[in-house]
Amino acid sequence: MDGDALKEMVEQLDRTETSVMVAVENGLFLDTPGKIALAEIVALSDGARAAAKTGAEQIVNIAALKIQAILSTEVHRPDRLGWRLVYVYGLPNFVGGTLAYVVVCWILAQYGGEASSVTYRALFWGATGGYVQGMYFTVQNLFTERLRQAWISWAPITPLIGAFLGLFLLQAGLAGAGFLNLKPTVSEDSVEYLEATVAAFAGFRWKWAIEKISGAINSLVGK
């Protein structure tokens, strides 16, 4: 096996070790059987690292597979059902994020009539984008076995963050920041569609939204 194949195996070992590290942070290896399993994983990892330096790809591959098997066994022990529901299936994230999104939508439905149509669309579609972002990030981390404790409390906040980012970004655009300049010939339906798209994307892509908002603020103050 060539060097590229060995490099790929080492990278796989890195990913497996990261999954183990996240599991440790999430409290998987606290009891006696867990500590024994973790000690075995550490020994296998050390052996694989030493073997990688000598090009012994078979040892690296076997060690990575054994580590993954131990981790899987530890995760699926009968007394780990609660842990699996939280960190393998992400149940609190899905439930918390969905409830938060429903609450935001209910509040907008109850009190949205008092706001302008632009503000209402910005908040609603921003919250929708934030909710989708929270669910997407949860699923992404579940697939890579890297769902950490912090994201459990963070996921339910995503609809609210998305709503405010959608509102701020759309208001900045309407204030003349330069990224939402619409010609008078554009129909009202097209304008509403574009506003909803901008707000939803802002709620989904926080980094992009913050960059645009920062640019708008700098533009308004003349920097």
User: Are 133 and 46 members of one domain?
Assistant: no
User: Are 72 and 99 members of one domain?
Assistant: no
User: Are 81 and 102 members of one domain?
Assistant: no
User: Are 75 and 142 members of one domain?
Assistant: no
Distance CA(215)–CA(165), nearest Å, equals: 14
Spell out the residues 6+ positions from residue 74 whose beta carbon is closer than 8 angstroms to its own: 23, 28, 29, 33, 34, 37, 80
Spell out the residues 6+ positions from residue 44 whose beta carbon is closer than 8 angstroms to its own: 63, 66, 67, 70
| End-of-domain residue from the set 87, 121, 138 | 87
pLDDT at 66: 93
List b or e across 174-190, with b for residues whose CB sees 16 or more CB atoms inside 10 angstroms. eeebeebeeeeeeeeee
User: Are 110 and 201 members of one domain?
Assistant: yes
User: Are 133 and 182 members of one domain?
Assistant: yes
| End-of-domain residue from the set 41, 63, 87 | 87
User: Are 20 and 43 members of one domain?
Assistant: yes
User: Are 66 and 96 members of one domain?
Assistant: no
| End-of-domain residue from the set 59, 87, 115 | 87
pLDDT at 177: 46
- pTM of the predicted model as reported, rounded to 2 decimal places: 0.81
- Residue in this structure with the two tokens 């609603």, named with its chain if needed: 124
Q: In which domain, by residue range, is 170 found?
A: 91-220
Digit-by-digit pLDDT tens for the chain (223 residues) are 566 777 787 888 888 899 999 999 999 999 999 999 999 999 999 998 888 888 777 888 888 899 999 999 999 988 889 999 999 999 999 999 999 999 999 998 887 666 567 788 889 999 999 999 999 999 999 998 889 888 888 889 999 999 999 888 887 766 554 445 555 555 666 777 888 888 899 899 988 888 877 776 776 666 5
User: Are 142 and 73 members of one domain?
Assistant: no
**Could you tell me if 202 and 129 are in contact, meaning their C-beta atoms sit under 8 angstroms apart?**
yes
Beta carbons within 10 angstroms of residue 149's beta carbon: 13
User: Are 37 and 80 members of one domain?
Assistant: yes
User: Are 70 and 178 members of one domain?
Assistant: no
How many structural domains are present in the chain?
2
User: Are 113 and 211 members of one domain?
Assistant: yes
